């Protein structure tokens, strides 16, 4: 008589972390691997190495920061969605959820969690997203529902929220102290293109000069971090 096969242990969910801060990666890994069915299969600091590891390791889920070493977290989310639609993504960031959460969802993410949240919230977000559900804070969920069900007639975005994803990325890099040339190199664009983005940003934010733009961007970046 054949013995029944022993029950198989549940498959570990393989998670790839993309964040350019080593301490953040260490913390996330510790929280995730405290769960028996979750495992961190790799860590990346930027877009290019994240894509390489994604193709090599084939993770089930990726946790991505908005600001990464090269490229943009939003661009990476869109790239993952296009290349590996079955790989789910969650944003873990210090950036204002009110500005970035909806952008992240539109890019293809299924969750957004602020790094100031309690550690167990990231596990909650992972489990919710792996069930095919969206994870957002209660405040952001209510905000998006209100915007969808009770739009204000004639209302238009103002301030930083009015910037396109690319403009917001350039604005953030200005706030981090990067020059026009450095931003162009980071984004693989021409200096002239970045100058055009700077002019668009000044117009949308009602700023008069380049120095005023820099001060505004530095102040905004300081508040975000």
Q: Which of 80, 79, 72 is nearest to 20 (CA)?
A: 72
User: What pLDDT, on the 0 to 100 scale, is given for residue 155?
Assistant: 47
User: Which of the listed CATH numbers 3.30.565.10, 3.40.50.1380, 1.10.540.10, 1.10.10.10 matches domain 159-224?
Assistant: 1.10.10.10
Domain ranges of the chain: 13-147, 159-224
Name the more confident of 85 and 139.
Answer: 85
pLDDT band at 151 (very low <50, low <70, confident <90, very high): low
- Do the domains 159-224 and 13-147 match in fold? no
Is pLDDT above 60 for 1?
Answer: no
Verdict on whether the full-model pTM lies above 0.85: no
Q: Which of 84, 85, 91, 83 is nearest to 126 (CA)?
A: 91
Q: Which of 123, 54, 42 is nearest to 87 (CA)?
A: 54
Q: Are 87 and 54 in contact (CB under 8 A)?
A: yes
Is pLDDT above 50 for 156?
Answer: no
In the chain, alpha helices (H): 22-33, 47-57, 73-83, 97-107, 120-130, 138-149, 165-175, 180-187, 191-204, 210-224
Determine the topology of domain 13-147 in CATH.
Rossmann fold (3.40.50)
- The whole-chain average pLDDT of the chain stands at 87
Q: Are 54 and 66 in contact (CB under 8 A)?
A: no
Is pLDDT above 90 for 224?
Answer: no
User: What pLDDT, on the 0 to 100 scale, is given for residue 14?
Assistant: 97
């Amino acid at each position: 008589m054949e013995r029944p096969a022993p029950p198989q242990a549940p498959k570990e969910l393989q998670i790839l972390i993309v964040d350019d801060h080593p301490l953040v990666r260490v913390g996330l890994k510790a929280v995730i691997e405290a769960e028996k069915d979750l495992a961190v299969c790799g860590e990346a600091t930027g877009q290019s190495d994240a894509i390489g590891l994604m193709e090599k390791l084939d993770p089930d889920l990726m946790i991505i920061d908005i600001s990464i070493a090269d490229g943009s977290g939003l661009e990476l989310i869109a790239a993952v969605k296009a290349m590996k639609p079955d790989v789910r993504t969650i944003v873990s960031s210090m950036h204002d959820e009110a500005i970035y959460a909806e952008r992240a969802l539109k890019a293809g993410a299924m969750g957004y969690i602020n790094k100031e949240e309690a550690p167990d919230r990231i596990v909650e977000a992972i489990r919710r997203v792996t069930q095919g559900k969206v994870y957002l804070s209660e405040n952001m969920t209510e905000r998006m529902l209100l915007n969808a069900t009770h739009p204000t007639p004639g209302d238009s975005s103002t301030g930083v929220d009015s910037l396109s994803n690319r403009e917001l990325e350039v604005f953030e890099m200005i706030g981090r102290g990067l020059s026009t040339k450095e931003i162009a190199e980071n984004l693989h664009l021409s200096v002239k293109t970045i100058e055009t983005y700077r002019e668009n940003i000044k117009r949308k934010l009602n700023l008069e000069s380049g120095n005023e733009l820099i001060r505004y961007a530095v102040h905004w970046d300081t508040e975000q971090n």
